[in-house]
Amino acid sequence: MRMIPAVDPEQARARQHEGAVLVDVREPHERATGMAEGALSLAAVELAQAFPDRGREIGLICESGARSHRAAQQLIDQGYSRVFSVEGGTRRWRADGLPIVVPEGDADFFDRYSRHLRLPEVGVEGQRRLQQARVLLVGAGGLGSPAAYYLAAAGVGTLRIADDDVVDRSNLQRQILHAEARIGLAKVDSAAATLGALNPRICIEAKQERVSAQNVDALLDGIDVVLDGADNFPARYLLNDACVRHRKPLVYGAVHRFEGQLAVFDAGRHRGVQPCYRCLFPEPPPPEAAPNCAEAGVLGVLPGVIGMLQATEVLKLLLAIGEPLSGRLLHFDALAMRFRETRIPPDPACAVCAPGREFAGYIDYARFCGG
C-alpha cells in the first residue's frame, strides 16, 4: 500500500497555486461554515467521476484530516498517482490564518440543524422536508408544550397551535412553554413568544380557539400531521373523526396521575389496515372513570415524557423513517419506569373508519361523551 502524502495547509496552498485542485470532501453543513479558498465541494464518492485524469494532482481536505486521508487512499487504490491529504484539515487551515470562504447559501440552516444533517436518515433533503411541513397542535398545555418545543427546535416549518385557554399559575408545574410573567396571557400567544425565541426560522400560527365541529376542518386545512394534546374526550373523538375524514395521521397522547399513553392513528390513509381512535375506544368511559389533571393531579414531568414521544412520532411521519406507532398503544408507568405495548387491530365495523363507510358528519361530541 502506497504512503499517502500529508502536507500542511501552507504547502497545500502553494500546490494550489502551482495547479493542483483542492477538494473539500466534508458534508454540506460543514462546508457552510467556511471552506479553504479555492477548494471545490465534492463528496468522496464523486471524485473519480469528476476527475477522470488519473495523473492530475488532487489535494483533499476535510475537517481534521482523517476523512481526506481515507478518500486519498481510495483514489490511490483506483490508480491515481498524484494525491495528497491536507494535514489538520480545515481546522488547521483556519488556525494558520489562510483564507476561508463562506459559500453562498443559508449558513444559519446548516449551523442550526447540523446534528440532523449528519444523520443519513435526515440529511439536507429531510431537513428541507421538515422546513416545508405543517403540523397542527391541539393544546398548548402539558403535552403540547414539550411537543411544540422539540418540533420547533427540529425545524418544522409551520406549527399551527389551537388553544382557547390562558396561562394560570397552576400550569407552570408542567407546561414549560409558559412563565410566571405570562400569567393571564393567552396560551397560544405565550407559546408563540417562547417558540419564536427558540427558532425564529419557523412560523407559528396562534389560534386562540377551542377545537369544535365548526372550526376543525379549517384547522386541518393544509396540515400534514395532527398532534393531539387535548385534555378531554369530546376533542379527542372530534379530532379522530376529522383526521379520518381528511386522511391526516393523528398522534395521540394522554396522561393520568403517573401514567401515560401514546399511539399513532392513521386509518384515514390506511382504511382496514390501521386503526383509528374509535377502534380502540368505541365508547368513551364515564366521566368519573377518567378525571382530568385538575381533578386527579399529574406528576409534572409525565406530560414531558409523553409529549416528547409524540414529537418523535411526528418527526418520523414527516420524514417517512422508522416504524411509526401505528396499530400499537404504548403505555408508560412513571412509578415503575416501565413501558408496555398493546396491539390495536382495525375494527372492521368501526363507525368511522371501516372500509367503504361514508363520513356521516360530525356529531354532538359533548353529549356523546356524557357532557
The residues assigned a catalytic role are 293
Question: Which residue shows C-alpha cell 385538575?
Answer: 294
Contact 174, 298 (CB under 8 A): yes
CA distance 186 to 172: 14
Question: How far, rounded to the nearest angstrom, does the alpha carbon of residue 73 sit from its chain's CA centroid?
Answer: 37
Helix axes 302-319, 144-154, angle to 10 degrees: 40
| Residue 284 DSSP one-character state | P
Contact 16, 40 (CB under 8 A): no
Contact 259, 333 (CB under 8 A): yes
CA distance 108 to 113: 8
- DSSP E strands in 67-127: the ranges are 83-86, 100-101
Q: Is the dihedral of CA 125, 207, 329, 146 positive or negative?
A: positive
CA angle 90, 113, 69 (to 5 degrees): 30
Cell of 339: 413501558
Give strand pairing partners of 161.
137, 206
